[in-house]
Chain A
Amino acid sequence: MKILLTAALFVFCSGCSSLGVEPWERDVLAREDMQLTSDAAEAATDDHIYFSKEASSGGRGFGGGGCGCN
Chain B
Amino acid sequence: MLTGSRQTSISTALATATCTLLGSAAPSVVIAEEEPKWDFNTSLLYYGEDKSRVRDLSLKAIVRRLFTDDRVFSFGLTLDSLTGATPSGAIRQDVAQTFTRPSGNAEYTVPAGSLPLDDTFLDTRLAITAAWQQPYGESSQFSVGFSGSKEYDYLHLGLNGSFAKDFNKRNTTLSTGISIARDEFDPVGGAPLPFTAMLAVGDTSNRGGSDDKDVLDIVAGVSQVISRNLVVQANYSYSSEKGYLNNPYKFLSVVDGISGDTIIGTAGTSHVLRFENRPDERTKHSLYTQAKYNRGGKVLDVSYRYMSDDWDIDSHTVELRYRVPFGQDKYYEPHLRWYTQNEAEFYSLSLLEGAALPLYASNDYRLGDFDALTAGLKFGWTTRNNSAMSIRVEWYRQVGSIPGEQIIGNQAERDNYPDLNALIVQLSYRFKK
Least distance between A1 CB and chain B CB atoms (Å): 16
Binary interface encoding of chain A residues 26-38 relative to chain B, with 1 for a CB under 8 A from any of its CBs, else 0: 1111010111101
Query: CA of A5 to CA of B231 in the docked complex: distance in angstroms?
Result: 24
Residue of A with least CB distance to B222: A12
Binary interface encoding of chain B residues 212-236 relative to chain A, with 1 for a CB under 8 A from any of its CBs, else 0: 0001010100111111110101010
Residue pair B43, A45 in contact (C-beta under 8 Å):
yes
Which among B47, B78, B177, B294 is the interface contact of A49 at CB below 8 angstroms? B47
Binary interface encoding of chain B residues 137-162 relative to chain A, with 1 for a CB under 8 A from any of its CBs, else 0: 00000000001110101101010100
Least distance between B347 CB and chain A CB atoms (Å): 10
Interface centre among B118, B121, B171, B396 (most CB of A within 10 A): B171
Q: Which residues of A contact B168 (CB under 8 A)?
A: 13, 16-17, 19-20
Least distance between A20 CB and chain B CB atoms (Å): 3
Query: CA of A33 to CA of B322 in the docked complex: distance in angstroms?
Result: 11
* Given A29-B228, A40-B41, A41-B42, CB of A55 within 8 Å of CB of B299: no
Residue pair B217, A63 in contact (C-beta under 8 Å):
yes
Interface centre among A42, A54, A55, A57 (most CB of B within 10 A): A55
Which among B125, B227, B420 is the interface contact of A67 at CB below 8 angstroms? B125
Say yes or no for A7: interface residue by CB 8 A criterion.
Answer: no
Residue pair B233, A36 in contact (C-beta under 8 Å):
yes
Query: CA of A56 to CA of B371 in the docked complex: distance in angstroms?
Result: 13
Query: CA of A13 to CA of B98 in the docked complex: distance in angstroms?
Result: 63
Query: CA of A23 to CA of B168 in the docked complex: distance in angstroms?
Result: 11
Q: Which residues of B contact A56 (CB under 8 A)?
A: 284, 286, 305, 307, 313, 315, 317, 339, 341
Residue pair A54, B299 in contact (C-beta under 8 Å):
no
* Given A36-B233, A70-B247, CB of A62 within 8 Å of CB of B219: yes
Residue of B with least CB distance to A9: B174
Q: Which residues of A contact B315 (CB under 8 A)?
A: 54-56
Residue pair A40, B225 in contact (C-beta under 8 Å):
no
Query: CA of A70 to CA of B123 in the docked complex: distance in angstroms?
Result: 10
Least distance between A47 CB and chain B CB atoms (Å): 11
- Main SS class of interface, A: loop
Residue pair A34, B299 in contact (C-beta under 8 Å):
yes
Say yes or no for B398: interface residue by CB 8 A criterion.
Answer: yes
Q: Which residues of B contact A54 (CB under 8 A)?
A: 315, 339, 341, 366, 372
Say yes or no for A44: interface residue by CB 8 A criterion.
Answer: yes
Query: CA of A35 to CA of B54 in the docked complex: distance in angstroms?
Result: 33
Q: Which residues of B contact A45 (CB under 8 A)?
A: 43, 45, 58, 60, 426
Say yes or no for B416: interface residue by CB 8 A criterion.
Answer: no
Say yes or no for B133: interface residue by CB 8 A criterion.
Answer: no
Residue pair B231, A36 in contact (C-beta under 8 Å):
yes
Query: CA of A39 to CA of B225 in the docked complex: distance in angstroms?
Result: 20
A21-B225, A41-B428, A70-B54 known; 13 new pairs, CB 8 Å cut-off, are A16-B171, A31-B294, A34-B299, A36-B290, A39-B390, A41-B62, A49-B396, A54-B339, A59-B235, A60-B290, A61-B177, A62-B217, A67-B154
24 examples of A-B residue contacts, CB within 8 angstroms: A13-B168, A16-B224, A19-B168, A20-B168, A34-B231, A36-B292, A39-B41, A41-B42, A42-B426, A42-B428, A53-B420, A55-B309, A55-B366, A56-B305, A56-B339, A57-B239, A59-B237, A59-B287, A59-B288, A59-B307, A63-B179, A66-B147, A67-B149, A68-B153
A interface, CB within 8 angstroms of B:
12-13, 16-17, 19-23, 25-29, 31, 33-36, 38-42, 44-45, 48-50, 53-63, 65-68, 70
